């Protein structure tokens, strides 16, 4: 998450910096100190700061030990350069002093074969190449705007779809069971997360004045943001643990007590969020805690990744049990349970893949852009994905919606009045062979039993088979 938000927020910070009021007045090809104007004093301050750090570093670093000619360490007015062997080009990230300098681009300096720094042929002075720092800025600005609006749209869509799903779950009482309760909590945490993210993107990110003032409220917002992020992933973990307990540990467990799940889903994420807040306040107290250049973010992202990993292993274990133990004897049931697990099994890798591919942002410009778009979609459209997979693609939900629709049609039309009576007779016929309703049906015409356990000869055989295995 770190580097993703790195590229994400760097582009957004690039966006902040493109505020037209701060125009750059410096000639980029050779750094000189301009006369102090009020707007430039902040910039000068940063440069003096870097200069101080550079000379400190030049003092403390050990002298050059390798053989051969080299160029001496130097301060070129903007960046610090170490001792470099002759004939080599050295590079580092561009500074962030000016609004249109992109800190993800590279500035370079050439040490020639005679052990002297490269001199610009026109002015005959030592010269570092900062041309890449501001050459692509306008395109990057455009893309930053696109990604920014994409993020806001993603979260808005997520909130809409999640609220719709929650409405469906609350309205159709026939659907409710323990798994659906867990879904409701998961969706609720996603809604809150999206709301906090939108608040952050709209109120804090485009507002450099607020960031400069650094009120406590924006740090509190960030705290809740991290808390909600934890809630999202820990509720996914709760879903996985629930399925695991249901299928592997005790097949057909009667109602589990959900208190521990609530504790893990809502209560526990306070722990990493609080530790992060304390560590950030103590060691890396930047304005509004917006910086993503710190490893302290792993205080929250580490447990999240651990939760995803544990979840993934639970799901693999479930699949293993379903495939090995139930495959030979009860193919039908095993298929049915597989359908239940399938949704979660699709979601967990999708949510987790962003953590895996973060470190590998491609260097190539076009590939990097595609990477950014994909990461943004994975990050900001998660709520929509979860709502779709857990609710809209759910056979039960689709069945309930269809029934409701036909009910409206019979209320307002005079057709199909007999459909209700045929349905009630098929209820008794089909309910006996159905498996417990916490799992999904592919046949949507069946009436649902409200979480009641259906005793069945095959199921009894399954249980005894489980205990003797």
Nearer to another protein, 55 or 171 (CB): 55
Q: Please state the separation of Cα 140 from the chain's center in Å.
A: 22
Which of 89, 249, 374, 420 touches another protein (CB under 8 A)? 249
**Interface segment toward another protein; rule CB under 8 A; list 140-148, 251-259, 356-364, 380-388:** 251-259
Going by C-beta distance under 8 Å and a sequence separation of 6 or more, which residues neighbour residue 296?
276, 279, 280, 283, 284
Residues 348/319, Cβ–Cβ less than 8 Å? no
Q: Which is nearer to another protein, 18 or 58 (CB)?
A: 58
Closest among 356, 410, 346, 433 to 382, alpha carbons compared: 346
Residue 118 · residue 126 · CB < 8 Å: yes
The residues with which 119 forms a beta bridge, in sequence order, are: 126
Q: Token pair for residue 209?
A: 């004045």
Smallest separation (angstroms) from another protein to the CB of 301:
9
SS3 state at 275: helix
Residue 49 in the binding site for another protein (CB under 8 A): yes
285 makes contact with another protein (CB under 8 A): yes
454 scored as a contact of another protein (CB under 8 A): no
407-418 burial code (b ≥16 CB/10 A, e <16): eeeeeeeeeeee
Q: Which stretch binds another protein (CB under 8 A): 57-65, 180-188, 347-355, 438-446?
A: 57-65
Q: Rounded CA gap, 164 and 468, in Å?
A: 45
Minimum Å distance from CB 264 to another protein?
5
Minimum distance of another protein from residue 25's CB (angstroms): 17
Among 1, 218, 296, 378, binds another protein (CB under 8 A): 296
Residue range at the interface with another protein (CB under 8 A); choices 20-28, 120-128, 216-224, 324-332:
120-128
CA pair distance 148, 245, nearest whole angstrom: 41
Which two three-digit tokens encode residue 97? 């002093």
> What does the block give as tokens for 315?
């799901």
Q: Are 192 and 221 in contact (CB under 8 A)?
A: no
Cβ closest to another protein, residue 13 vs residue 241:
241
Shortest distance, position 223 Cβ to another protein, whole Å = 15
Q: Nearest distance from residue 228's CB to another protein, in Å?
A: 16
Q: Does 294 bind another protein (CB under 8 A)?
A: yes
Per CB under 8 A, contacts with another protein among 75-104 are: 75-77
**Could you write out the three-class secondary structure of 157-226?**
HHHHHHHHHHHHHHHCHHHCCHHHHHHHHHHHHHHHHHHHHHHHHHHHCCCHHHHHHCCHHHHHHHHHHH
In the complex with another protein, which residue's Cβ is closer, 335 or 464?
A: 464
Q: How far is the CB of 370 from another protein (least distance, A)?
A: 31
Q: Is 451 in the site for another protein (CB under 8 A)?
A: no
Out of 23, 39, 55, 450, point to the residue binding another protein (CB under 8 A): 55
CA distances to 162, 170, 187, 381, 462 from 385, rounded to whole Å, are 9, 20, 11, 6, 34
Q: Taking CB under 8 A as the criterion, which residues in 359-398 touch another protein?
A: none
Tell the smallest beta-carbon distance from residue 247 to another protein (Å): 12
Q: Would you call 47 helix, strand, or coil by DSSP?
A: helix
**Under rule CB under 8 A, residue 417 binds another protein:** no
In this chain, which of 166, 177, 180, 307 binds another protein, going by CB under 8 A? 307
Residues that bind another protein (CB under 8 A): 30, 32-33, 44-45, 48-49, 51-53, 55-60, 72-77, 122-126, 237-238, 241-242, 244-245, 249-254, 256-257, 260-261, 263-264, 268, 271-272, 275, 279, 283-286, 291, 294-296, 298-300, 302-303, 306-307, 310, 463, 466-467
């Amino acid at each position: 998450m770190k580097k993703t938000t790195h590229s994400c927020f760097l582009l957004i910070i690039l966006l902040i910096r493109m505020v037209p009021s701060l125009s750059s007045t410096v000639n980029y090809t050779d750094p000189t100190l301009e006369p102090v104007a009020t707007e430039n004093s902040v910039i000068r301050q940063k440069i003096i700061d870097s200069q101080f750090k550079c000379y400190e570093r030049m003092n403390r670093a050990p002298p050059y030990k390798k053989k051969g000619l080299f160029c001496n360490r130097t301060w070129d007015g903007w960046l610090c350069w170490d001792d470099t062997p002759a004939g080599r080009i050295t590079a580092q990230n561009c500074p962030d002093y000016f609004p249109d300098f992109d800190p993800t681009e590279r500035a370079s300096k050439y040490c020639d074969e005679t052990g002297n720094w490269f001199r610009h042929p026109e002015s005959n002075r030592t010269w570092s190449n900062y041309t890449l720092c501001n050459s692509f800025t306008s395109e990057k600005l455009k893309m930053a705007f696109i990604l920014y609006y994409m993020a806001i749209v993603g979260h808005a869509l997520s909130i809409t779809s999640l609220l719709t799903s929650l409405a469906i779950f609350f309205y159709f009482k026939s659907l409710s069971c323990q798994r659906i309760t867990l879904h409701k909590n998961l969706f609720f945490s996603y809604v809150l997360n999206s709301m906090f993210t939108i608040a952050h993107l709209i109120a804090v990110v485009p507002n450099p004045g607020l960031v400069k003032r650094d009120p406590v409220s924006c740090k509190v917002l960030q705290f809740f943001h991290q808390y909600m992020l934890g809630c999202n992933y820990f509720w996914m973990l709760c879903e996985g643990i629930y399925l695991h307990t249901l299928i592997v540990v005790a097949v057909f467990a009667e109602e589990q007590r959900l208190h521990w799940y609530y504790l893990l889903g809502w209560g526990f994420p306070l722990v990493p969020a609080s530790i992060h807040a304390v560590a950030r306040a103590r060691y890396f107290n930047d304005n509004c805690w917006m910086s993503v250049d710190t490893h302290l973010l792993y205080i929250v992202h580490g447990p999240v990744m651990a939760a995803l990993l544990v979840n993934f292993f639970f799901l693999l274990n479930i699949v293993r049990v379903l495939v090995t133990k139930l495959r030979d004897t009860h193919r039908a049931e095993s298929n049915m349970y597989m359908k239940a697990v399938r949704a979660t099994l699709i979601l967990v890798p999708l949510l987790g893949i962003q953590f895996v591919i973060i470190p590998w942002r491609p260097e190539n410009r076009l590939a990097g852009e595609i990477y950014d778009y994909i990461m943004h979609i994975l990050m900001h459209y998660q709520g929509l994905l979860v709502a779709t997979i857990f609710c809209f693609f759910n056979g039960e939900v689709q069945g309930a919606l269809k029934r409701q629709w036909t009910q409206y049609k019979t209320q307002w039309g005079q057709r199909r009045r007999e459909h209700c009576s045929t349905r009630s007779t098929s209820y008794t016929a089909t309910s006996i062979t159905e498996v417990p309703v916490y799992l999904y049906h592919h046949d949507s015409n069946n009436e649902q039993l409200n979480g009641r356990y259906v005793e069945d000869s095959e199921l009894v055989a399954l249980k005894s088979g489980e205990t003797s295995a």
